[in-house]
A = this chain, B = another copy of it.
Amino acid sequence: METTISRIGEGGVTTPAGFRAAGVSCGIKKAGAGPPRLDLAIVAADGAVAAAGIFTTNRAVAAPVVVSRDHLARSGGRAVAIVTNSGCANACTGAAGLQVARDMAAAAAAALGCDPAQVLVASTGVIGVQLDIAKVRAGISAASRALSVDGSADATLAIMTTDPFPKSCAITVDTPRGPLTVGGMAKGSGMIEPRMATMLGYLTTDAVIAPDVLARILTRVADETFNAITVDGECSTNDSVFALASGRSGVTITRDDDPTILEPFTAVAGHLAREIVRGGEGATKLVTVRVTGAASHGDAWLAARTIANSPLVKTAIHGGDPNWGRLVAAAGRSGAAFDIDGASVHIGDVPLFVKGVPHDERAERAAQVLASREIAVTVDLGTGGAHQATMWTCDFSAEYVKINAEYRT
């Protein structure tokens, strides 16, 4: 996979053939000192194409998630466009908010000449505030006229809330059946302004894939990428990842375990996911958490998730402290089977705790590893099991608290 990632290039959702995009400003985001900020994006296929989506597991589900789920079911996994606004999450907005999300899809369908069920919607921004449908309609009107194969960069900007940088990429792979391209864009889960709280991901490809296969592939890919990252363990009301397959490459995918599509999808989604972590609020380091020696698949993920979300682990890494005891304690409290006499901890390649025995004489070497901006920690649970999991997280800085404690103005 590392090789694949190294081939990740410039580009975005319009790099695969058959897609256009646009990002416009329609006044949902508050005006600042500079030029108006982009706050409405459309990603459109040239016609109805295979579409899939995976959504937040939060039971406080935002209106656009309800509508997108419904539309995917009603359309049989076919979509013409995804419309996204930033600046307002349309979450906790009751029946009125649900109607706004439906109207948003209907407005895009009218502009693009398709069925409303062939439009997916997403929103990100403040929770509990009604989304102004008049502004959304104006934005959809402008964006649908601006759709272009060059519109990927604007679309990427228009889905951002206060992400520190835009996130998009693309990759073209040569297959025995010809070249196949995957593009993508994402916005962060960094809740950089109060009540901003959403991760959105968009994957496009020119592969030929049936909707049901695309849905299974998206789930597989997301489990190892977007679902394997954490900034602060929070799961938003609006999290959504979409995939569209235009079929324009002529490369046909029929199996959800076909590496021809899994590899580039995973490369693009993994790159975007790690960029989200790197742009996490207050983050200064990208941390890869590997758990090995787990008795089950579930245990490996449970331990990895607990470590990746541990405030004590994340503050120690922020401070460059090779405090392996916190990694042991987090693994131990995770609920995963754990045998301390067989357990080991590495920071980078430095073994600080080996089969239950501390090696604090190596702390200085480990501290040098922790001075980097990209760090890997490995915890072996000591059970002798062969299961493992990898997650990505960031360090935990005082800046995170500052960002999230500031009173809304």
Distance A397 CA – B235 CA, assembled complex (angstroms): 21
A322-351 at interface with B (beta carbon < 8 Å): 323-326, 328-333, 336-338, 340-341, 343
A396 at the B interface (CB under 8 A): yes
Per-residue interface assignment for chain A, residues 349 to 367, with 1 indicating a CB less than 8 Å from any chain B CB and 0 otherwise:
0000100111010000001
- Name the distance in Å between A217's Cβ and chain B's nearest Cβ: 25
Distance A398 CA – B315 CA, assembled complex (angstroms): 11
With a cutoff of 8 Å between Cβ atoms, the chain B residues found around residue A405 in the complex are 315-316, 318-319, 321, 396-398
With a cutoff of 8 Å between Cβ atoms, the chain B residues found around residue A236 in the complex are 329
- The interface centre, meaning the residue of A60, A92, A129 with most chain B CB atoms within 10 A of its CB, is A60
With a cutoff of 8 Å between Cβ atoms, the chain B residues found around residue A367 in the complex are 407
With a cutoff of 8 Å between Cβ atoms, the chain B residues found around residue A332 in the complex are 58-61, 237
| Known pairs A127-B329, A325-B127; A316 contacts B404 (CB<8 A) | yes
A408 at the B interface (CB under 8 A): yes
| Known pairs A59-B332, A128-B360, A332-B60; A340 contacts B400 (CB<8 A) | no
Nearest CB to that of A56 among chain B residues?
A: B333
Q: Which listed residue (B330, B360, B398) contacts A234, Cβ 8 A?
A: B330
| Known pairs A358-B92, A358-B93; A234 contacts B333 (CB<8 A) | yes
Interface residue count on the A side (C-beta < 8 Å):
66
Distance A400 CA – B323 CA, assembled complex (angstroms): 16
Contact A311–B128 (Cβ < 8 Å): no
Contact A340–B310 (Cβ < 8 Å): no
Nearest CB to that of A398 among chain B residues?
A: B398
With a cutoff of 8 Å between Cβ atoms, the chain B residues found around residue A127 in the complex are 325-326, 328-329
With a cutoff of 8 Å between Cβ atoms, the chain B residues found around residue A384 in the complex are none
With a cutoff of 8 Å between Cβ atoms, the chain B residues found around residue A324 in the complex are 128
A233 at the B interface (CB under 8 A): yes
- Name the distance in Å between A265's Cβ and chain B's nearest Cβ: 26
Contact A356–B321 (Cβ < 8 Å): no
Q: Which listed residue (B128, B326, B408) contacts A195, Cβ 8 A?
A: B326
Query: B-contacting residues of A (Cβ < 8 Å)?
Result: 56-61, 91-94, 126-129, 191, 194-195, 197, 232-237, 310-312, 315-316, 318-321, 323-326, 328-333, 336-338, 340-341, 343, 353, 356-358, 360, 367, 396-398, 400-402, 404-408
Instruction: Identify 5 residue pairs between A and B in the complex whose beta-carbon atoms are under 8 Å apart, listed by A's number.
Output: A59-B333, A195-B323, A197-B326, A232-B311, A312-B404
